[in-house]
Amino acid sequence: MSADVIIRVEGVTKVYTMGEEKVHALRGITLDIVRGTYVSIMGPSGSGKSTLFNMIGGLDRPSDGEVIMEGFRFGELSSGQMAWIRCHKVGFIFQSFNLIPSMTALDNVAIARIFSGLTPAQARRDAAGSLEQVGLGNRMDHLPSELSGGQQQRVAIARAIVNRPEVILADEPTGNLDLRTGEDIINLLGKMKMDLNITVIFVTHERDIAYHTRRIIRLRDGRVVADEPVPDGLFLEAERTLAAAAAAKAAPAQPNGGRSLGAPSADARRAAVAP
């Protein structure tokens, strides 16, 4: 494996057995992801995007084939070792946020840090840092139900980055958000990728969002049907659109309708992403 390939997927298949019927969600996927790249996975509904995402993140195991991350062959790892991978190597972001409803934003982020072995006090301190990074420094003690969708997704991003993972996996992170908020989130992910030098892979339906990445992998019926770089022109256009949107939003200084104190600085940072 060459040094800069962080994830290698080798002939991964996944078959779900539903009674008599067999569902071939993945029919043999092979691909390499280079460290530090920004990759999107596209494809129609049911094409196996989420299934692949779960395999790459070690949430599920393939029926056949192998996922290798930084030299760790998932097939050879115990469930405890897989937990270690999920804890230290991967940060997940889901369409439905997946926050624990009974915990504050701070604790939702801290919990990931605690599983990595820190004391609650240390975990909280780091969690607070992550929340500041995503512009939620003033919402730490709110329960998920007291946050907007965009804010909840930011908490999820804070949680995903708190353990300083190598890879962020985001399955339709904007799927439950309106376009504007979705763009904020994408922008934030892009910034995190830059700041932390993380590999970001996300699943999306939306072409415009996919154009923010440098590579698009298209799936259909459990197979890779296209895997190509995003032309520079499209990428830059997408970046410009976002930067403009961010700048437009920075003016009213009321992002996401919140009375956010940390928001202006977050917006300033977001604006800095613009080329």
Partner 1 sequence: MSTLLTVRVALRALGANKMRTALTTLGIVIGVGAVVALMSVGAGSQAQVTAQIQGLGTNLLFVRPGSTAVGGVQTGAGGAATLTLTDAQALAQLPTVADAAAELMGFGQVVGQGQNWNTRLLGITQSYLGVRNATMARGEWFAQDDLDSRTPVAVLGSTVAQRLFTEGDPVGQAVRITARGGVGGSFRVIGVMARRGSGPFGDQDDLIYLPITTMVVRLFSQRAVSGVPQVSTINVQVADQALIDQAVAEIGEVLRTRHRVDTDDFTIQSQQEFLEAFNQILGTFTLLLGAIAGISLVVGGIGIMNIMLVSVTERTHEIGIRKAVGARRRDILAQFIVESITVSVLGGMLGIAVGSAVASLLSRVQLPSATGGAATALQTLVTVDSIVLAFGVSVAVGLFFGIYPANRAATLNPIDALRSE
Ligand X SMILES: Nc1ncnc2c1ncn2[C@@H]1O[C@H](COP(=O)(O)OP(=O)(O)OP(=O)(O)O)[C@@H](O)[C@H]1O
Please give the residue ranges that form the binding site for partner 1 (CB under 8 A). 54, 57, 59-60, 79-80, 83-84, 86-88, 92, 94, 98-100, 102, 111-112, 114-116, 119-120, 159, 163
Q: Between residues 142 and 205, which has the closer beta carbon with respect to Mg ion?
A: 205
CB of 189 to partner 1, least distance (A): 17
- Interaction of residue 19 with ligand X, rule CB under 6 A: no
Q: Between residues 84 and 235, which has the closer beta carbon with respect to partner 1?
A: 84
CB of 92 to ligand X, least distance (A): 14
CB of 110 to ligand X, least distance (A): 30
CB 70: neighbour CB atoms within 10 A? 14
CB of 232 to Mg ion, least distance (A): 29
- Interaction of residue 46 with ligand X, rule CB under 6 A: yes
Question: Which of residues 23, 225, 253, 274 is near ligand X by CB under 6 A?
Answer: 23
- Interaction of residue 256 with Mg ion, rule CB under 5 A: no
- Interaction of residue 45 with ligand X, rule CB under 6 A: yes
- Interaction of residue 204 with ligand X, rule CB under 6 A: no
Q: Between residues 83 and 226, which has the closer beta carbon with respect to partner 1?
A: 83
- Interaction of residue 218 with ligand X, rule CB under 6 A: no
Question: Which of residues 13, 40, 47, 50 is near Mg ion by CB under 5 A?
Answer: 50
CB of 49 to ligand X, least distance (A): 3
- The single-letter code of the amino acid at 240 is R
- Interaction of residue 65 with ligand X, rule CB under 6 A: no
Question: Which of residues 9, 29, 40, 50 is near ligand X by CB under 6 A?
Answer: 50
Phi, psi at residue 226, to the nearest 5°? -155, 145
Buried b / exposed e over 10-45, threshold 16 CB at 10 Å, is bebbbeeeeeeeeeebbbbbebebebebbbbbbbee
Q: Between residues 112 and 185, which has the closer beta carbon with respect to ligand X?
A: 185
Q: Is the Cα torsion angle 198, 201, 206, 210 positive or negative in sign?
A: positive
Footprint of Mg ion on this chain (CB under 5 A)? 50
